[in-house]
Structures are given as C-alpha cells and as structure tokens.
Chain A
Amino acid sequence: MATITLSHIAKAYGSEARVIKDVSLTVNDREFVVFVGPSGCGKSTLLRMIAGLEAITDGDLLLNGDRINDHPPKDRDIAMVFQNYALYPHMTVYENMSFGLKLRHVSKAGIKERVTQAARILEIENLLDRKPKDMSGGQRQRVAIGRAIVREPKVFLFDEPLSNLDAKLRGQTRLELQKLHRSLQATIIYVTHDQVEAMTLGDRICVLRGGDVMQFDTPVTLYNEPANLFVAGFIGSPPMNFLPGKLMGTGNSVQFESESGTVCLELSAHPHRDVYAGNRGRAVVLGIRAEHITDRPGTFSHSQSTTVDALEHLGNEIFAYTMLEGVRFVARLPADSVMTINNTATLYWQADKCHIFDAQTERRL
C-alpha cells in the first residue's frame, strides 16, 4: 500500500524564483503516474523531492498520510532508477543488486533469494557476475531496475530511464515496464520528456510546464480534452494544429473565423456549441489534430482549399503539410491518398473534433 500526496509543494533554490510553484496531486496505490514536460519544467526536481534527494521549500509530502518532508531518503522506503543507471562500476551485477540489502543487514541467504528472483523476472540471471562496463545500455537498465526491485520498496521512481536507449530498445522496454508494473503491483512515478512514453505507460499523466501542473489526468483525457493550449500542443504526434481567430455567429449558429478570414468553420454541431455561443466575439485559438483533417469528404464537415507544400510518406500513412495564414498545418492522410506537392487540393476538417482555446488565458473553452 503506497499512496503519495503532494500538497502545495514548492521548491526554490536560495532567493531565486521557484522552480516548482504550487503542485498538489495524489498518486494512488499501485498507480503508474508519469510526469512529463519539456526540459526545465521541474519534473525531475519534483521526483527528486519525493525521493528525498532535494529539500522541499514549501508544502507537504505525504506517504500513506504520514508527512515525510524531513525523512532522509533511506527512511522513505522508495527506490529510484536513475537516468544514467548509477550502477557502481567496481561492483558486479550481483553486488550492485544486493548492495541495499547488505546495508539493511538482510541475511546472505535472503539476499541470494531476492537477487535471483529479481534477476529471473528481468532475465539477467546470466549477467550476475559481470561488471557494468561489460554490459549494453539495455542490460544496465535492467540491472538498475533489478536493484530497485530487490528492496521491495513501497514506491518506485524512474527518472528518464529509457533516454539512453535506442528507439527500438525503448519500444521493447516500454512494454516490459508495463508488464513489470502489472506483476509488481507497485506504485510507480515515472519522469520523461517523451510524450509517447508518457501516453503508453501512464495510468495518469501529469503535464508540467515551468514548475506548474498544466493537467493531471488519464492519457485519453489529455489527448481528447486538453485543458489548455500547452497540453494540446505537447501531447500528440504530430502536434495539434493551431489557428488564431474569433468566435462569430448569431442565433443558433456559431462559427470560428480565422484572423484573415481564410477559414470559416461552422461549429453548430460541436458538442460544446453552447459554450462557444456564449463566447461569441472572443479572440480564440482553434486547435485541430492531424487525424481530423483528411483528403476525402466522408463525415468531415468542413472543406478547405489549400496548397500542399510537403509530403511525408510513412508507409501506413502520409503527413501532408500546408500553410494557412502563415501557420503550418499538418494532415494525417491514408497511405493510398493521391496528393501532389504544390498543387491546390481540398482538405476536409472534422469540425466537431476541433478544440477552441481562449487566446488570452490559453484555457480550453
């Protein structure tokens, strides 16, 4: 059982501005929570504060309801996997994995049993006599996880553990981490700057920016209902397309009109039309994902004439790039699309899937 609660947590270095401003969230027992955000957003700092490696300036950190702000790392019963693994180069894999148990005076037989079991789970039994320098990045990463597992801690913290692996191995390890979470039934907090990792691993994702929580929710909610422009732009690949404009219309009708009037999108069928109708005249930013723009009409309500200036063929799909009022737009087209560069084409937008954000507050309407 391990529930972690962050209540108004803040962090400042000396008299400098706060790098973590006011973070409040709860990580439930056995939940896999991912902290994601761009470099410098404070995600690693937040993780290190939970681990006890950074002092907390303000707020309360609770583990199962007990305040642990002042507990040293060893008393928090938390294990951490570091970005560079932090495996001791002078120790073998077995010694690395057993180090914490030895310090805790676990019997030799107990150590052997736990290390062997963890090695079996991670399929590194044949590496136990090796030193870190004789292993690949992926193997080291497994050992680092093994070192965390053998202690059977209440909480696992992962600080960008896949960032040193190549793309293929990252994909494999992501799946293994999911399996591991299911088998360990442990509470995990995982830091990454890679939104694909965040989306695939997290039960819930906390998106951070400049020390603030932008949104903390499930991957599906983050994707379908981003709370603000930042989350909308950060989650999803390729990123969401944005176009500034205004909400217009009278009576039952509500439309989005871009600044130069090139795009006029009817929003009367949108699930949030009432909200939009109440904000007529407001400067907004329209957001639409690439997969909601296509080259064939179907149920897509809005047609937009444009010139495609670049195409990316990915085999199973095509990304078509255009410019609209000086803003780059990308559409995700089926692989069999017949589209040519520098020719006028009509693209169809699924208007009821678009998002409208307040231009000033950047919040979703």
Chain B
Amino acid sequence: MKLTSKRLTPYILITPYLLHVAVFVLFPVAFSIVLTFHSWNIISPMKYVGLDNYAHLLKDRLFWQSLWNTVRFLLVHIPLQIVVALALAEFLNGPIRGRAFFRASFFLPVIVSGVVVTILWQQLLGFNAGMINKVLTGMSIPKVPWLESPDVAMYAIALMATWKNVGLYIILFLVGLQTVPMQYYEAADLEGATRWQKFRYVTLPMINPTIFMVVVLSTIGGFSLFIEPYIMTEGGPLNSTLSAVMYIYRQAFQYYHMGYSATLGFFFALLILAVVAVQKKYVEE
C-alpha cells in the first residue's frame, strides 16, 4: 500500500508526543521494573539479584514504618481536606460580599511554591519562637511541640498540607456545587428541608463524583508526601514523619540502592492503584 502524504501527516504530528512518552514515561517505567531485579549503585555495573529486593522489602521495618506514617498522614489529611474544602466551597457559593476576594485568597497558597510555604510553616510551628505557640501562650494554653514530638509532628504536617492544597479542592467543589440545579434546592425548600437537610440529602449525593475525585487526588497527592517532611523535620523525630516517598528517595540518592529504591517505588505504585480501585468501587456502590 502506497503511503501518501495525507496518510503520513497524522503520524508525523503525533511523533513528538510519542517520543516524549517513550523517553520520559515508558523507558523509565520499564527500566525501573528491570531495576527491581538488580542491585545497582549507579557507578558499578548492575548485578542481577532475582527477587532479593522484594524479599528485603518485606523485612524492611523502616519501609513499613514510613508507609504507616504516610497512612497516618492520609487519615488526617483526606477527611480534613474534604471537610474544610467543602465547607469553604459551600460558604463561597453563597451570596456573600467580597466573594471574588475570598476565592482568590483561599487559592493563593496553591500557587505559592511548596518549599516557601513549608519554610513559612516551619517558622510558624517553631516551639519557642513560633507564632502559633506565642498565640497559645497568650491565651494561657501550654505550648505544643508541633514538630518536636513524634506523636504530633505528622499531624502538624497534615494540617499544613491541608492549608496549602485546600484552595484547589475548594475550586473543584465549587464547580461541583454549581452543577447542582437550583430546582432541587427549591423543591427541598417546599418539602420543608432545613439547610443541613438540603446539604445532607441534596448536595452531598449530587456532588458524589466530585467528592470521589477529591478523595482520589488527595490520596495520590498524599501518598507522594515529600517536600514538607523533607524540609521541616527531615523525617524525624524518631522517623515519625518519614514518608514512603522520602524513604524511597533516601534509598536512591543517599544510599544509592537504585534497585531496592525502584522495588519500593514499584510496590508503592501498585499500592496506590489498589487503594484508588477500592475507593472507586466503594463510591460506585
């Protein structure tokens, strides 16, 4: 079959994209899967180790702790993010003065660099000089070791991460809320529904797809927790804020265990996929 220029054009047009995907997505994924069966420190040649990396993963207590730390973070971060974002979206969806100002204000932290925000919060959460503890002291409340206590540090980071990202989820919820036809609320008004009942029986079920999207995005975003503990606590105290991604990073770029790091990454990706699949099934039901 003769290839005419008309037939070739689409292939030429998608070639740059295919090249990009091949070089920056397919190759790294394939290479990291290969790596999981090897030991490699970048300098020496790769050495085939079979399933040793996987066997090591199962016995690596620090990895499981980092995973548990991440889960602890998610357990606070996701519900907090949904509740705060939904409450603020509901507030901003109403007829309030200065709506545009508030919408912009809540979104501002999203566009500020994560590093800048983290450093700012590190200052705010400082035990002695931090603004938050100063306010607490002023109110005769004992100071809280936000980043110094293994019991508190991860929750303080979850609080900060929520503040940083909530603007994005407010926008998503606002879009969801605005797609609910006004007539449903009017019908509920006539039926005698209170504001809370309208929220419970009309808004929540109607924005279910948005809630699912926010849960999935928060889950994926939360699983990739890195900048905040890396800058604020370096994973401490006592590895209590060591996130899974941070541990994978350490294995790769501090200890040069590229093969093991790839194994952790691969396992972690499968875990995220499984969690999102469960969430999807739950929401569909």
Contact = CB atoms under 8 A, between A and B. Distances in A.
**A-B residue pairs, 5 tightest by C-beta:** A100-B191, A74-B192, A86-B183, A90-B205, A86-B187
Main secondary structure of the interface of B (DSSP, over half): helix
Nearest to B192: A74
Interface size class of A (residues with CB under 8 A): 20 to 34
Contact of A103 (B184, B186, B191): B191
Interface in B190-209: 190-193, 197, 201-202, 205-206, 208
A52 interface: yes
A218 interface: no
A51 B184 CA distance: 14
Interface in A72-100: 72-74, 78-80, 82, 84, 86, 88-90, 99-100
Contacts of B183: 82, 84, 86
B151 interface: no
Given A74-B191, A84-B181, A99 B201 contact: yes
A104 interface: yes
Nearest to A157: B190
A73 B201 contact: no
Given A84-B181, A86-B181, A88-B202, A99 B186 contact: no
A323 interface: no
A53 B186 contact: yes
24 contacts: A51-B186, A52-B190, A53-B189, A73-B186, A73-B189, A74-B189, A80-B186, A80-B187, A82-B183, A82-B187, A84-B183, A86-B181, A88-B184, A88-B187, A88-B201, A88-B202, A88-B205, A90-B205, A99-B201, A100-B190, A103-B191, A103-B192, A103-B193, A151-B191
Interface string A208-241: 0000000000000000000000000000000000
A73 B186 CA distance: 9
Contacts, number: 53
A90 B283 CA distance: 13
A104 B192 contact: yes
Interface string A48-72: 0001110000000000000000001
A187 to B, nearest CB: 16
A78 B190 contact: yes
A75 to B, nearest CB: 8
Contacts of A104: 192
Contact of B186 (A86, A90, A147): A86
Contacts of A82: 183, 186-187
Interface of B: 181, 183-184, 186-193, 197, 201-202, 205-206, 208
Interface in A2-56: 51-53
Contacts of A53: 186, 189-190
Contacts of A99: 188, 191, 201
Contacts of B197: 103
Interface in A249-272: none
A74 B202 contact: no
Contacts of B189: 52-53, 72-74
Nearest to A148: B190
Contacts of A79: 190
B190 A51 contact: yes
Interface in A84-122: 84, 86, 88-90, 99-100, 103-104
A74 B181 CA distance: 19
Nearest to B189: A73
B206 A90 contact: yes
B206 A80 contact: no
A80 B185 CA distance: 13
Contacts of B193: 74, 103
B190 A73 contact: yes
A86 B184 contact: yes
Contacts of B205: 88, 90
A151 B187 CA distance: 13
Nearest to B190: A73
A21 B205 CA distance: 40
Contacts of B208: 90
Contacts of B202: 88
Contacts of B184: 86, 88
Given A53-B189, A88-B187, 12 more contacts: A53-B186, A73-B186, A73-B189, A74-B190, A74-B191, A78-B190, A82-B183, A89-B206, A90-B206, A90-B208, A103-B191, A103-B197
Nearest to B206: A90
A53 B189 CA distance: 8
A79 B208 CA distance: 28
Contacts of B186: 51, 53, 73, 80, 82, 86
Contacts of A86: 181, 183-184, 186-187
A72 B206 CA distance: 24
Given A86-B183, A88-B205, A90-B205, A80 B192 contact: no
A118 to B, nearest CB: 14
B260 to A, nearest CB: 47
B60 to A, nearest CB: 45
Which of A51, A52, A100 has the most B CB atoms < 10 Å from its CB? Answer: A100
Nearest to A89: B206
Contacts of A52: 189-190
A51 B191 CA distance: 11
A97 to B, nearest CB: 11
A52 B186 CA distance: 9
A99 B190 CA distance: 11
